[in-house]
Structure 1
Amino acid sequence: MGLISLLWGIVALVWMIVAFIPLLGWGNWFVIPFAGIGAIIAAIGLLFTAPGNRGRAKAGLLLNIVVIVVGVLRLGLGGGVI
């Protein structure tokens, strides 16, 4: 689960970078729920993984949360369209 959430977060991060291109900001409407699902997968991974093996799940959770926060800020600045 940790590896899946980490890969999910990397895909969300790449998608978020593409959404920074002017006139592609509408992509944040898709990347925020996508990263939310990745954060849920990471949280499930944290619950069911042994305490010594939670590094990937923690990294995936952090990466997905960063993508969500930046996406929300970007939508707020651009009015949700740009």
Structure 2
Amino acid sequence: MLNIFSLLIGLVTLALGLVAFIPFLGWLNWLVLPIGVVGLALGAMSSSNSGRNLNLVLLVVFGLRLMIGGGVI
């Protein structure tokens, strides 16, 4: 059950993160990353790995996007 919630949170993170790739909306990554951390925590508590892995990949991709954009130095 936790894995399903983690996957749903991962899909929400993915949808918001794709919007954050639009120029001048990079600040949205600051909202996306905490949502992904919650999904990662739920995925870590479940017995399956798919939700955890999805949120982990999304956190890495959107974290790199934030660093490339100059949001994190």
What's the TM-score once normalised by structure 2's chain length? 0.90
| Structure number, greater radius of gyration | 1
In 2: Cα distance, 1:67 partner to 1:31 partner: 9
Matched, 1:35 2:36: yes
Q: How many residues align?
A: 71
In 1: Cα distance, 2:11 partner to 2:51 partner: 8
% identical aligned pairs: 46
If asked which structure has higher relative contact order (CA below 8 Å, sep 6+), I would say: 1
Which whole-Å deviations, capped at 9, do the CAs of 1:32-73 have from their partners, x for residues lacking one?
111001000011112xxxxxxx2xxx1111110111101110
In 2: Cα distance, 1:26 partner to 1:14 partner: 15
Of Structure 1 and Structure 2, the greater helix share is in 1
Please point out which of 47, 64, 67 is paired with 1:73: 64
Displaced runs of 4 or more, over 6 A: none
- Any stretches of 5+ residues in structure 1 without a counterpart? 47-53
In 1: Cα distance, 2:14 partner to 2:52 partner: 12
What's the TM-score once normalised by structure 1's chain length? 0.81
| Two-structure CA RMSD over aligned residues (Å) | 1.3
